[in-house]
Amino acid sequence: MARFIRSGMADSPIIEATNADDFVLAGPQDNVVRAKGGNDFVFGEDGFDTLYGGRGNDSLFGGNDDDILYGGNGNDFLYGENGNDSLFGGDGHDTLIGGEGADTLTGGSGKDIFYFGTLPDNSTDFDTITDFQPGADKIQVEGVEFFNGIDDRSLARFIYNGVTGELSFDAGAGFLTKFAQLQTNLNFVASRDISIV
């Protein structure tokens, strides 16, 4: 049976969920949430939160501020939202979305997806992927946002620099926008490792 857990108490920063399918709202303070078993939905909301998915296929949402999300076992969905977040997928085939800010994404084992909905607004808000596995993991980009305003999409391209590890988007005018930092010297093939959705 699913359980709803709502924390609004300033003196209760640690939230222990159950082994059922829980729906957790962490509240405005700095929280530590342990979701344990079940397929859980955990929302950090405000505060500098640390969210643990545990077992099951969990969905973790950091909310505002700089949060840390651990997927644990299962095929998890991690969304940092606002702030400079750190996301760890753990085991399973996970989906990681940094959101706004300069985030650090670690997929862990399994075939993971790193999703980018928009290009960064400035040169410092790119995300860092620490363990990209070419041919197994996938970078997904939102085509509507990336190709917005481009008349000839055939001129646009994604460029990986093996020396620096920078992954950039060229809209066709030769001006590169860096949106991700990968490891260096990867066997990265854009047509294989990037999908446009």
Listing DSSP states for the chain in one string gives --EEEE---TT--EEE--SS-EEEE--SS--EEE--SSS-EEE--SSS-EEE--SSS-EEE--SSS-EEE--SSS-EEE--SSS-EEE--SSS-EEE--SS--EEE--SS--EEEE-S--SSTT--EEES---TTTSEEEE-HHHHTTT-S-GGG-EEEE-TTT-EEEEE-SSS-EEEEEE--SS----HHHHEEE-
What's the pLDDT score for residue 46? 93
Q: What is the mean pLDDT of residues 39-50?
A: 96
What are the tens digits of pLDDT across the range 54-112?
A: 999 999 999 999 999 999 999 999 999 999 999 999 999 999 999 999 999 999 999 99
Q: What is the pLDDT of residue 140?
A: 99
Residue 164 lies in a domain: no
Report if residue 126 sits inside a domain: no
Instruction: List, in order, residues 6 or more apart from 145 with CB less than 8 Å away.
Output: 117, 118, 119
Q: How many domains does the chain have?
A: 1
Asked whether residue 184 is domain-assigned, the answer is no
Max Cα separation, the chain?
56
pLDDT at 12 over 80: no
What is the rounded average pLDDT of the residues 6-10? 62
Q: Is residue 181 part of a domain?
A: no
Is residue 138, in this structure, part of any structural domain at all?
no
User: For residue range 153-190, what is the model confidence (pLDDT) as tens digits?
Assistant: 888 999 999 999 999 999 988 889 999 999 999 999 99
65 domain residue, yes or no = yes
Q: What is the pTM of this model?
A: 0.94
* All residues at 6 or more sequence positions from 6 whose CB lies less than 8 Å from its CB, including other chains: 24, 25, 27
Q: What is the pLDDT of residue 21?
A: 94
How sure is the predictor about 10, in pLDDT bands with cuts at 50, 70 and 90? Answer: low
Q: Would residue 84 count as lying in a domain?
A: yes
Cα 181 to Cα 145: distance, rounded to the nearest angstrom: 19
The residues with which 79 forms a beta bridge, in sequence order, are 61, 97
Per-residue pLDDT, 70: 98
Residue 101 belongs to what domain range?
3-110
Q: Would you give the end-to-end CA distance of the chain in angstroms?
A: 35
Query: What was the pLDDT predicted at 13?
Result: 86
Of 14, 9, 40, the closest CA to residue 27 belongs to 9
The pLDDT tens digits for 103-150 are 999 999 999 999 999 999 899 999 999 999 999 999 999 999 999 888
* Residue 166 placed within a domain: no
